[in-house]
Amino acid sequence: MATAYHNLSEYDSNTIPDASAMRFAIVVSEWNTEITSKLKEGAYNTLIKHGAKPENIIVSYVPGSFELVYAAKRIAESTQPDAVIGLGCVIKGDTPHFEYVCSGVTQGFAKLNAKGDVPYIFGLLTNNTMEQSVDRAGGKLGNKGDEAAITAIKMVQFAWNFKK
């Protein structure tokens, strides 16, 4: 469903598993920090709301969104969380840089998910304007960070249901 018709922060709390035994890593891009800091706040607070313990949430920062893929892989290897959430924001400009960064991060997270033992949650805003990003980072369309955290919790539960 298009975000314009769906608030990213609306969900049925009764469908969210208890996260008290789960460990998470959140990797946040410092580029467009006025947006990414709100995404991080949304993700962190949503994890806590659903039972995650602060000591089981590791937050790390990288310079830009392109670096999210490398950081997600490294943090998963070194801290062994149950899920990794990548949060970033790329806003379209006048050059093709937007397409390269968005494509690289998207493909990178897809590859991590295909090869990894933990879910890697794609929380990258790819918007045309700053206003669209504000709307999706706690504005009128909710917070993509909330959505990423809910996805992480649900995917950890999914993975646990199929543990070897």
Token pair, residue 143, equals 């917070």
Give the number of other Cβ atoms within 10 Å of residue 73's Cβ: 19
Question: C-alpha angle 152/108/82, rounded to 5°?
Answer: 25
Active site residues: 97
Distance CA 19, CA 24 (A): 10
The two three-digit tokens of residue 102, written as one number:
């968005």
- Determine how β-strand 142-143 pairs with β-strand 137-139: antiparallel
Please work out, in degrees rounded to the nearest 5, the angle formed at the alpha carbon of residue 16 by the alpha carbons of 10 and 20.
125
Contact 50, 19 (CB under 8 A): yes
- Return the bridge partners of 25, or none: 58, 84
